[in-house]
Chains A and B, each alone.
Chain A
Amino acid sequence: MDQSFKIEEVEMDGVPVVSASGEIDVATAPPLRDRLQALTTSGKSTVVVDLLGVTFLDSTALGVLVGALKRCREAEGDLPLVIREPRILKVFEITGLTGVFPIYESVREAVGSVK
């Protein structure tokens, strides 16, 4: 399995979608933070974050996502996440963040929720 970290960005129906893959940890979270920060400071109040390709995620990554969610909500937007992998979902569940983020099983569903 390719564990290397990658970020890709596309726009779907006018909504920015940031797709991360690989392991998001203390070393790889900063580029994700920078990408999300760039989108919110450029005026995008809602960003879909696709974590379907993520194989590992730690509290640093959670901190980056929580920070981005706060900025989106302050701009009256949102930060829906796309997660299907039970192991990744478990990290959100044990930290109580499943009640904080809107979580969807597909990018299409997440984009549809904010259009």
Chain B
Amino acid sequence: MVERKTATVEVDLSIPVQADLVVLARLAAATVASRAGFGVEDIEDLRLAVEELCLSLVGTRADGRLHLSYENDGDAITVSCWYEAEAAVPGTWGGEADDLSLRILDALVDDHGRGLRGDGPSAWLCKRRSDATA
């Protein structure tokens, strides 16, 4: 399920959309960040941010697959995430929990955004190492 690559893209992950498997997305984030030399605080921030990224895409859905790509350029990690539904779903977001997710992402990562990939919603985030030079 986890594929290691060389150079920039380090890890691709594809998981079924099940509540008890989202932990794999944050586990992969922590592993990539740890290997990249991120500190404990940054790793914990990234773990939570990736969780929120996934939640903001799948909401309460329990079908389809979530695809994640973790890219490390040394000083920053970019995580791209997209949702592949079994049936067509609108790529929309909203709700109180989504508002909390956005607030968490705003606070914990340097940049994040949303879009569409194919027929499904996608989102990404970028987290720089706290001790990285600009």
Contact = CB atoms under 8 A, between A and B. Distances in A.
A56 B22 CA distance: 13
Interface residues of B, number: 19
B100 A26 contact: no
Interface string A91-107: 10011100000000000
Contacts of B44: 87
B22 A95 contact: no
Interface string A18-51: 0000010111000000000000000000000000
A25 B101 contact: no
Interface in A74-92: 87, 91
Nearest to B101: A59
Contacts of A27: 19-20, 22-23
B12 interface: no
Contact of B22 (A25, A87, A94, A96): A25
Interface of B: 19-20, 22-23, 44, 47-48, 51-52, 55, 96-97, 100-101, 103-104, 106-108
